[in-house]
């Protein structure tokens, strides 16, 4: 569903009101005082986060972000604070960043924090958006869209809830049994809640969901507020120790079923044995974009990482191309591919920005990506996709042939998609920057080929062909690209090798096109006197030599994309590069714990599949390594650290390596446009 931004007005007394809900965004007596009294003190903060490795807060309505800024400021001011603050918040109608800038000017005490938030404020697209703030010590996860759906897709264990939607009579959907039971599913042991509302239906709804609530002195002119804590989910199914055994009404059971279909996955969001490991020490095999991204995300959390690769430096395998494309792939149904590529591209560009902010060099440019239609039928479909998704123009816009010709600086017969905020990245520089971000925590083992892995006790050992141990750790992550299939421990995971050949074209500075062009392939802008065209896609073809027929295929693709462009190019005189990409049957990546079995009993669910202790995989990126690498690294690092996950439940399940045990594999793979 497209996101409609918030519309607001300011009353004479300075109070902010929502035009849509005809209600105030905060108390008439002051938003800051309400945030401090109701939501912080009401949840026993800052005392409750002291001495913790991490603390997780969930808010049901982000609004102007005042509760978040107040919580962040209180966390910063507390010398005994938790190491990491996770703040999750839902918002159906988020503000545009320009509105937030104007609004936050009214609280100058938060100026520095607000500026950092504004600099990272995401585009208003549906789904989860993860923002790393305060040098990574504060993690804001925003869910843009209907909270009734979005809360049910979140995977987290929440320590404190802030119930701060518009008044129940103005916005009843946010104060419903479905929402209360979803909060109960997310509650960590001892979780607390606070809200300004003391309505009887709110108190009763929370009680039925397993919260004990009581009235407390309110803020300003509001005499009372609610404080509460979670004592247990009131259901006989999958009981929590100490949970209530209250018999549910039919209405309550219906609400519970709507929000608890994935309870067991939430109870075990792949933050299993690893989150209990005191050493926080891992081996990563493979130093391409997948392995280097995982290593960086773990090291950012304080993990020690042993990175092993057969090459002498990072990004030398499939990640060694001169330039690759990082952009989404939309679909009219906004399917899993559409949502995953959008989330991956948005997070990937934020990651590039964060690395550069640390002074690290990443060769990349968000110059824009123009995806041209193959024929008039596809052009009409592409136009319909843009209309249906309703994404911000900065993320996706349809352009006709005339505008496409102006953007690409080359005449083209058809229009297509314009991704203004996307562009190209040079993968080896991204790999190197990831490793340079935390050199004290990432120990590299170059020119070492892992022949086999072995698990003894609680430790994994990576060994060479002579049986010598290269590195040992409780956690081992296979990010070895097509090499994944060489490990017997990954036998349950289907993987094919897709040979790709890229053609390198000589180019002068400023020559056309100055944006990335796609259509059954891609063409990069000039980068250091060269532009990339490609790439072929041949499954189970192990030829490492540059082939003339593939050079011609790339030029044919380029000619169809930009008529007349290849007139003076001789395929026999061009350079190129061959790489082998790990591809999965459903074209989606594989991120998570590897299964310990190859067959299942009928009726087995994904959550019930036994996993190999401490063994994980990050692979199957196919031609979209740049799109998924950073987000996949964040996902696995969050799983291993027992943190809230950056993707919705169904997307986490869609990339789980064990998913193939639940359904027949597709017979073959083909190239993607």
Tokens of 89: 């918040």
CATH class of domain segment(s) 366-423+497-581: alpha beta
| Mean pLDDT (whole number) for 574-599 | 95
Q: What is the spatial distance between Cα 534 and Cα 191, in angstroms, rounded to a whole number?
A: 52
* pLDDT at residue 27 in the model: 58
| Architecture in CATH for domain 279-316+429-495+585-662 | 3-Layer(bba) Sandwich (3.50)
Q: What is the spatial distance between Cα 91 and Cα 140, in angstroms, rounded to a whole number?
A: 13
Q: What is the spatial distance between Cα 214 and Cα 196, in angstroms, rounded to a whole number?
A: 12
pLDDT at position 655 over 50: yes
Confidence of residue 26 (pLDDT cuts 50, 70, 90): low
* pLDDT at residue 29 in the model: 57
**SS3 sequence, 496-549?**
EEEEEEEEEEECCCCCCCCCEEECCCEECCCECCEEEEECCCEECCCCCCCCHH
Q: What is the spatial distance between Cα 95 and Cα 228, in angstroms, rounded to a whole number?
A: 30
Q: What is the spatial distance between Cα 530 and Cα 542, in angstroms, rounded to a whole number?
A: 26
pLDDT digits (tens, 9 = 90+) for 342-382: 999 999 999 999 999 999 999 999 999 999 999 999 999 99
| Mean pLDDT (whole number) for 645-660 | 97
* pLDDT at residue 169 in the model: 80
| Mean pLDDT (whole number) for 37-55 | 97
Q: What are the φ/ψ torsions at residue 477 (nearest 5 degrees)?
A: -120, 120
* pLDDT at residue 276 in the model: 41
| Mean pLDDT (whole number) for 105-110 | 94
Confidence of residue 132 (pLDDT cuts 50, 70, 90): very high
The region, left, alpha or beta by phi > 0 then psi within -120 to 50, assigned to residue 294 is alpha
pLDDT digits (tens, 9 = 90+) for 302-335: 999 999 999 999 999 989 999 999 999 999 999 9
Mean pLDDT of the chain: 90
Confidence of residue 233 (pLDDT cuts 50, 70, 90): low
Residue partners of 272: CB distance under 8 A and separation at least 6: 593, 611
Three-state secondary structure call for residue 649: helix
Q: What is the spatial distance between Cα 548 and Cα 289, in angstroms, rounded to a whole number?
A: 28
| Mean pLDDT (whole number) for 39-49 | 98
Indicate the domain borders of the chain: 8-266, 279-316+429-495+585-662, 366-423+497-581
Q: What is the spatial distance between Cα 581 and Cα 149, in angstroms, rounded to a whole number?
A: 35
* pLDDT at residue 385 in the model: 98
Three-state secondary structure call for residue 641: helix
What b-and-e string marks burial along 400-418, b requiring 16 or more CB atoms within 10 Å of the CB? ebeebbebbebebebbbbb
pLDDT at position 429 over 50: yes
What residues pair up with 523 in beta bridges, in sequence order? Answer: 517, 533
Domain covering 8-266 in this structure, CATH number: 3.40.50.150
What b-and-e string marks burial along 294-331, b requiring 16 or more CB atoms within 10 Å of the CB? bbbbbbbbebbbbbbbbbeebbbbbbbbbbbbbbbbbb
Confidence of residue 250 (pLDDT cuts 50, 70, 90): very low
What residues pair up with 146 in beta bridges, in sequence order? Answer: none
Angle at 447 (CA atoms; ends 446, 451), nearest 5 degrees = 110
What angle in degrees, to the nearest 10, is found between the helix axes of 250-259 and 177-186? Answer: 50
Three-state secondary structure call for residue 487: coil
pLDDT at position 439 over 90: yes
Sign of the dihedral through C-alpha 591, 301, 316, 561: positive
pLDDT at position 265 over 50: no
C-beta separation of 315 from 289 below 8 A:
yes
* pLDDT at residue 173 in the model: 84
* pLDDT at residue 159 in the model: 98
The region, left, alpha or beta by phi > 0 then psi within -120 to 50, assigned to residue 447 is left
C-beta separation of 502 from 577 below 8 A:
yes
pLDDT at position 262 over 70: no
Residue appearing with tokens 């279909």: 261
Three-state secondary structure call for residue 140: strand
Lowest mean pLDDT segment, chosen from 50-64, 262-276, 475-489: 262-276
Residue partners of 329: CB distance under 8 A and separation at least 6: 337, 338, 341, 624, 672
* pLDDT at residue 168 in the model: 82
pLDDT digits (tens, 9 = 90+) for 137-180: 999 999 999 999 999 999 999 999 999 877 788 788 889 999 99
pLDDT at position 95 over 70: yes
Confidence of residue 25 (pLDDT cuts 50, 70, 90): confident
* pLDDT at residue 117 in the model: 98
**Greatest extent of the chain over all pairs of C-alpha atoms, in Å:** 82
| Mean pLDDT (whole number) for 223-249 | 58
């Amino acid at each position: 569903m497209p996101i409609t931004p918030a519309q607001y007005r300011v009353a004479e007394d300075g109070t902010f009101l929502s035009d849509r809900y005809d209600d105030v965004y905060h108390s008439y007596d002051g938003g800051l005082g309400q945030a401090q009294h109701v939501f912080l003190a009401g949840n026993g903060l800052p005392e409750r986060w002291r001495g913790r490795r991490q603390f997780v807060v969930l808010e049901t309505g982000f609004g102007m972000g005042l509760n978040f800024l107040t919580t962040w400021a209180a966390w910063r001011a507390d010398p005994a604070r938790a190491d990491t603050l996770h703040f999750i918040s839902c918002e159906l109608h988020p503000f545009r960043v320009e509105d937030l800038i104007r609004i936050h000017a009214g609280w100058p005490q938060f100026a520095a924090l607000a500026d950092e938030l504004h600099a990272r404020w995401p585009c208003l697209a549906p789904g989860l958006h993860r923002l790393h703030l305060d040098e990574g010590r504060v993690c804001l996860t925003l869910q843009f869209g209907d909270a009734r759906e979005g809360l049910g897709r979140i995977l987290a264990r929440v320590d404190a809830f802030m119930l701060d939607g518009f008044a129940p009579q103005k916005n009843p959907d946010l104060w419903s049994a479905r929402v209360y039971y979803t909060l109960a599913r997310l509650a960590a042991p001892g979780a607390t809640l606070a809200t300004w509302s003391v309505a009887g239906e709110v108190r009763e709804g929370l009680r039925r969901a397993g919260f004990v609530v009581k009235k407390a002195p309110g803020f300003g002119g509001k005499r009372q507020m609610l404080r509460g804590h979670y004592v247990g989910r009131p259901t006989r199914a999958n009981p929590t120790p100490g949970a209530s055994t209250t018999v549910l009404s039919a209405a309550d059971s219906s609400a519970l079923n709507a929000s608890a279909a994935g309870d067991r996955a939430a109870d075990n969001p792949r933050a299993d044995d690893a989150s209990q490991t005191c050493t926080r020490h891992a081996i990563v095999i493979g130093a391409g974009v997948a392995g280097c991204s995982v290593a960086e995300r773990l090291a950012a959390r304080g993990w020690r990482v042993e990175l092993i690769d057969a090459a002498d430096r990072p990004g030398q395998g499939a990640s060694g191309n001169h330039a690759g494309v990082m952009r989404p792939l939309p679909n009219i149904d906004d399917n899993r591919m559409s949502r995953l590529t959008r989330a991956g591209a948005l997070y990937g560009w934020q990651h590039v920005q964060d690395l550069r902010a640390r002074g690290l060099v990443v060769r990349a440019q968000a110059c824009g990506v123009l995806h041209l239609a193959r024929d008039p039928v596809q052009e009409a479909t592409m136009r319909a996709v843009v209309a249906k998704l309703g994404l911000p123009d900065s993320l996706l816009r349809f352009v006709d042939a005339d505008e496409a010709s102006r953007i690409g600086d080359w005449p083209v017969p058809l229009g297509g998609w314009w991704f203004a905020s996307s562009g190209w990245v040079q993968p080896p520089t991204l790999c190197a920057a990831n490793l340079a971000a935390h050199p004290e925590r990432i120990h590299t083992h170059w020119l070492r080929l892992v022949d086999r892995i072995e698990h003894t006790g609680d430790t994994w050992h990576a060994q060479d062909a002579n049986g010598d141990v290269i590195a040992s750790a409780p956690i081992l992550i296979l990010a070895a690209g097509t090499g994944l299939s060489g490990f017997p421990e990954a036998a349950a995971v289907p993987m094919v090798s897709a040979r790709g050949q890229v053609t390198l074209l000589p180019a002068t500075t400023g020559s056309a096109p100055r944006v990335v062009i796609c259509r059954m392939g891609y063409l990069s802008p000039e980068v250091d006197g060269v532009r990339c065209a490609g790439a072929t896609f041949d499954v189970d073809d192990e030829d490492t030599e540059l082939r003339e027929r593939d050079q011609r295929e790339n030029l044919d693709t380029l000619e169809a994309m930009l008529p007349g462009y290849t007139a003076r190019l001789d395929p026999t005189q061009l350079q190129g590069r061959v790489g082998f990409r790990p591809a999965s049957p459903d074209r989606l990546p594989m991120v998570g714990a590897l299964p310990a079995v190859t067959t299942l009993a009928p009726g087995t669910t994904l959550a019930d599949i036994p996993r190999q202790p401490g063994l994980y995989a990050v692979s199957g990126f196919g031609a979209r390594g740049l799109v998924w690498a950073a987000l996949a690294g964040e996902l696995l690092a969050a799983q291993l650290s027992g943190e809230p996950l950056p993707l919705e439940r169904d997307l986490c399940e869609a990339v789980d390596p064990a998913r193939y045990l639940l359904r027949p594999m597709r017979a073959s793979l083909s190239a993607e446009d």
